Structure 1
Amino acid sequence: MNSAKRHEIFTCLQSTNPHPTTELEYRSPFELLIAVILSAQATDKSVNLATRKLFPQANTPEKILALGEAGLLECIKSIGLYKTKAKNILATCQLLIQHHHSEVPRTREQLEALPGVGRKTANVILNTAFGEPTIAVDTHIFRVANRTGLAPGKNVLEVELKLLKAVPKEFRHDAHHWLILHGRYVCKARKPACAICTINHLCEFKDKNFAL
């Protein structure tokens, strides 16, 4: 795919959604960090249901530690892998207090040193909380990048690095959200909605499905 086509793809995505953002509900970088940790192998909708219970009670590292494991589990037990996530969240809160003055760190290395935080989670925080032009490749972005021909790759890191090179600079900050939302609602895994896709004339997917 050439650069002109890539530019047009993001121009189209921007025209339909000028100000994209995450569907996770949060009011601070810390709340976003907790929400993203909870979102592993879970839907944003299920995470929001849990954090609506959690954040009014505890939305700082100190308050979550005061809530304790039992209290935290009670709030997040509807989410998959909730026991492991609870342990990671409690350990992360301790490290934030001990080493970062209870603030969410702003570097990838410091973020990835937190329990439950991998490269994808770090990229979400850097992009959404701090405005860095990073791209967190989840299953939706991986699928869209490969299916459309935008940035094909064999693994998420390869796709991420290709996207950082391929996405025009002016679109790089919002590309993460455009691609996730496009994969979630239009370029779906089992049945892509090619008939309503705003970039179907630019997409290089060979098996397009225009049936409604």
Structure 2
Amino acid sequence: MGKTAVDRAYEWLRSEIMNGSLSAGKFVEEVTVCEATGLSRTPVREAFHRLAGEGYVNLVPRRGAQVRGLSATELYEVFDVRFAIESHALRQLCARRAGVPDAMRRALDLMVDFRELQTRDDYIEYGQLDIAFHRAGVEASGNALLVQMYDTLRPLHERSSLAQARIAGESLRHITTSQHQAILQALADHDIEAAVRVLGEHLRPIPEVPEMLGAGIE
């Protein structure tokens, strides 16, 4: 099934936000997106509403859509909720002695082999692999509702990863790889305590990031 006009408008806008072309606080009007994508106002308007529902933009009457920043509060909240969901999934996997899910191992292998993080696109692509790693663990728990809940966090997950990368740079890759490997080892050992402990260390904001974000753009 091909992509709809709404899908194309949504993907263009989301890409422009994620790559920094549309930065936090910036306004974008429907006509701008129409001209850039060759689409009519109706699908563009629907894409705006979809992005607003996911927390990427705020809709402002007569101004269009304003790109939202990530606040320090949201950063802490997304890590808290992710920990609640992911730790439950890891506990389930260890309790069932399920071992390491293949999808988690594949995602980590790709992260280990990833080229150096230099451009914003590199960080975005690397961040998608990180999301795939963690989502695979949740999916392996076998709880479909938990996966649905986890997927609603994706916009905040993506932006929090980028915020961390802006501060940590290439060192983020080495820290992430080491902690991911420790999580897989804990799953292989069926060690609930170790799995949850390492996850807690992993889902902790780099200290400078909350200060950099401040109050964010609500």
What's the TM-score, normalizing by structure 1? 0.29
**Greater share of helix residues, 1 or 2?**
2
Q: Which has the higher contact order (CA 8 A, sep 6+)?
A: 2
- TM-score w.r.t. the length of structure 2 is 0.29
